[in-house]
Amino acid sequence: MICFQGFRRANDDLQMIKQGFHWRLLVLGPLGLLLSRSWISFSLTACLAAAIVRFAPVPMLPCLALLNGTLALFGGELIAWESRLQGNRACGVWLGRSAAEAMLRASDRAGGKQA
């Protein structure tokens, strides 16, 4: 089972954000945040990656690999932070094999209405 955190804005559909390890962020780094539509997090981490490439006194490849690993571990928190910045509110944590199953559990809990 995978843990998902639900976010929604008033009169909008529920958005599920996967908590845990993000393989996309490990492989793509900051570009993975861009694919998740997290513009602010992408901008900050891309600037950090550019600063590492420009100013790192040690070989930059291990530093960038460490950055990608950190993003992969804490990507769910970054995406959730950006969702809160956009005005969404947290609606609880739900378990499921996929985001659709977690959303179904959330709607069951709300009595058939969107959570």
Q: How far is CA 8 from CA 5, 15, 67, 80, in A?
A: 10, 6, 29, 11
Residue matched to tokens 């291990």: 62
Q: 10 Å Cβ neighbour count for 90?
A: 13
Asked if 73 and 20 touch (Cβ cutoff 8 Å), the reply is no
pLDDT at 100: 86
Residue matched to tokens 């995978």: 2
pLDDT at 40: 92
Q: 10 Å Cβ neighbour count for 38?
A: 24
Q: Which residues of the chain have pLDDT under 50?
A: 115
pLDDT at 63: 86
pTM for the whole structure: 0.78
pLDDT at 111: 61
Phi, psi of 5, rounded to the nearest 5 degrees: -105, 130
Q: Locate all alpha helices (DSSP H) within 56-111, ordered by sequence.
A: 60-85, 99-109
pLDDT at 44: 93
Q: How far is CA 33 from CA 38, 43, 76, 77, 100, in A?
A: 5, 9, 10, 12, 21
Extents of the domains making up the chain: 2-109
